[in-house]
A and B are shown apart, each in its own frame.
Chain A
Amino acid sequence: MSQPERRRHFLKAGSIAAAAGLVGNWMRSDAAAQAPARTSHPPVRDEYDGFSRFKPSRGNDPDSDYYLGKMIPGFRSTADGPAPLEAPDLERLPWKMVRGAKEFHLVPMAVEREFLPGYKMNVYGFNGSMPGPTIEVTQGDRVRIVVTNELPEQTTTHWHGFELPVQYDGSETLTQNPIEPGASFVYEFDVHEEGTYFYHSHVPMQEAFGSVGWFIVHPKKVFDPPVDRDFGLIFQNFFIDSNQNIADSWQMDWNWHTINGRSGPYTTPLVVKHGERVRVRIMDFSPMQHHPVHLHGHTFWVTGHEGARIPKSAWVPRNTELIGIAQATDFEFIANNPGDWMFHCHMVHHMMNHMTRQVGPRIRQDSSVDSYLANLASRPAVDAVRTDPGFATPGYPQEMKSMKMPEAMMKTIWNRREVQGMRATWPMSVMGLMTTLRVLPDDLYHRVMETDAEIPPGSIFEEIVNRFGNPADYQPAKMGGMPGMKM
Chain B
Amino acid sequence: MKRSFARSKLLAAVVLVVGGTHASAQDLSIRQDSMGNSAGRHVLPPRDLPPLPEMPSGFIDNDLAAADSSPHAIASYTLDELLCLAAANNPTIRQARLQIGGETAKALQAGLYPNPVLMYVGEKINSDGTAGEFQGFEVQQRFVTAHKLQLSRLKYCQRARVSEHLAVAQQFRVSNDIQRHFYQVLAAMERVNLQSELLKTAEDGSVTSRELYNQGQTNLPGIHRANVELQQRRLALLNAQNEFAEAFRQLTSIVGCTLPMGRVEGSLRPDETIPSFETVYAGLIQDSPEVLAARAKLVADQTTLQRESVQWVPDIVVTGGPGYNFTNNDPVYNAAVQMELPIYDRNQGTILQARRDLQRQQAEIHRVELQLRERLAMAYRMYATALQHATEYERVIIPEREVAYRELLEGYRDNRVDWPDVLHAQGEYFAARLQQVDQFRDVRIQEVMIDGFLLEGGLMAAKGPTPPGHIDAVAKPR
Contacts and interface: CB of A to CB of B under 8 A. Distances in A.
Contacts of B206: 384
B415 A369 contact: no
Interface string B180-223: 00000000000000000100110110111011101111000000
B416 A242 contact: yes
Contacts of B197: 378-379
- Residue of B217, B408, B410, B412 with most partner-chain A CB within 10 A: B412
Given A354-B415, A394-B47, A359 B212 contact: yes
Interface in B269-312: none
Q: How large is the interface on B (under 10, 10 to 19, 20 to 34, 35 or more residues)?
A: 35 or more
Contacts of A60: none
Interface stretch (A120-128, A286-294, A398-406): A398-406
Question: Majority SS of interface residues in chain A?
Answer: loop
A376 B429 contact: yes
A127 B396 CA distance: 41
A357 interface: yes
A391 interface: yes
Interface stretch (B74-82, B124-132, B417-425): B417-425
Contact of A395 (B215, B405, B413): B215
B343 interface: no
Q: How large is the interface on A (under 10, 10 to 19, 20 to 34, 35 or more residues)?
A: 35 or more
B367 interface: no
A392 B46 CA distance: 7
Contacts of B47: 394
B230 to A, nearest CB: 9
Nearest to A363: B211
A242 B52 CA distance: 32
Nearest to B416: A242
A460 to B, nearest CB: 29
Given A382-B200, A395-B216, A376 B402 contact: yes
B123 interface: no
Contacts of A415: none
B360 interface: no
Contacts of A398: 215
Contact of A396 (B214, B402, B409, B418): B214
A360 B422 contact: yes
B101 interface: no
Nearest to B419: A360
Contacts of B418: 356-357, 359-360
B413 A356 contact: no
27 contacts: A242-B414, A243-B411, A356-B412, A356-B415, A356-B419, A357-B215, A357-B419, A359-B208, A359-B418, A359-B419, A360-B418, A364-B207, A370-B413, A372-B409, A376-B406, A379-B200, A379-B201, A381-B200, A383-B207, A384-B203, A384-B206, A386-B207, A391-B211, A394-B47, A394-B216, A396-B215, A398-B215
Interface of B: 44, 46-47, 52, 197, 200-201, 203-204, 206-208, 210-212, 214-217, 402, 405-423, 426, 429
Given A357-B419, A357-B420, 18 more contacts: A243-B416, A356-B417, A356-B418, A359-B217, A361-B412, A362-B419, A369-B412, A369-B413, A373-B406, A373-B413, A379-B201, A379-B204, A381-B203, A384-B52, A386-B207, A386-B211, A394-B216, A404-B413
Interface of A: 242-243, 354, 356-364, 369-370, 372-373, 376, 378-384, 386, 391-398, 400, 402-404, 487
